[in-house]
Structure 1
């Protein structure tokens, strides 16, 4: 089954029909998801929709219960995840409105519950991250975008920061020098936890603005306008992805 994890500005997917809100109880807390169906040429496909900030955007990035969310998706039968992240661009050549297919990450978060393997009864495991954004799944996502007529920036490097504050100019310069493409606050530990449970994870990063120091300050209205544009393009990709799943 396909799981869709949505971020800032994307709290409901109109294509998801017969939605049922479910509280999923896990060893790490409760996760709220919406289970429904999406119409496809081959029949109706089940999809689990999870707004990571909650449907009213009440949970900041450093307070999200990432372990409960990923555990809940697996318990419902999800084996592939498409995650959507609102991000800022670290590069002039990746302007607002771009959609980035993420291939790797740099992690600058701290204090987050970032593993299921905490020792003791939970055991210990060192999970390989070579293919953390599953390459085969990336190819399926890229093909869906191509079929939808939506261009992607490929091989993106996602820099995950702690939040909820934005980055400083010095931090942005450093992240760009390290090879980052975009900066966001929620991609990690989501991707690593999915890998620990053997779930295939892919991410589309929606660029809403340039990071500080690359352009003049952006207004909330401008960010919302770009996000609305990105979400419309994203919806086209998701429909094709469901058809291919």
Structure 2
């Protein structure tokens, strides 16, 4: 049996006594004198603030996966793969309420809607499940929705269109959780010169692996004039729902030659 050092023993003893002290105070709260109860409440609030801070930092450091992780499954032959910053690392502003049209969460994600009164919230949350590969997720709460459209726009980085050809397949993978069923569509937009190619796919939310692929062979893409690309996630019937995107990744690969 390993022996504890004096310092570890004293810390353990102090922690045990503090725990017993507050357990006793909690048990006696119903009968305690009001002046004593008021003092104990103030002490408890101060202690709770420190404990919450410790728990928050510990969860962030100890939870899986590690912050900054870019690990995810990519199709064989992929020549580009990417996870947006919102799902990869902590944002300076992790959330917002009464989200207005064209509000940004980070540098790459923008929410669009036409609600007169916004009852939407967006926030980044820490993924702690062992099954999650993304360090962070995004949660959207929709209460009363009086608009006609709601979409989340993800700007793809310049690397996504460097060397982009019509023989490429562009793939999006995601993990979605919902309070109640709804339809989500993914629309890929690629600007080339004065024109913009668009491909729309419905997310197969009933399947275990939620993935869509965009085959550029069916577009009129001018390979020499490709400028940028972005993806719209369009939510149909989002009223009174909570949608969590645990992960969102992109990859591309050239189609096998026939």
TM-score by length of structure 2 reads 0.27
Which structure's relative contact order is higher, taking Cα pairs within 8 Å and 6+ residues apart? Answer: 1
TM-score by length of structure 1 reads 0.28
Q: Which structure has the highest strand share of the two?
A: 2
- Which has the higher Rg, Structure 1 or Structure 2? 2
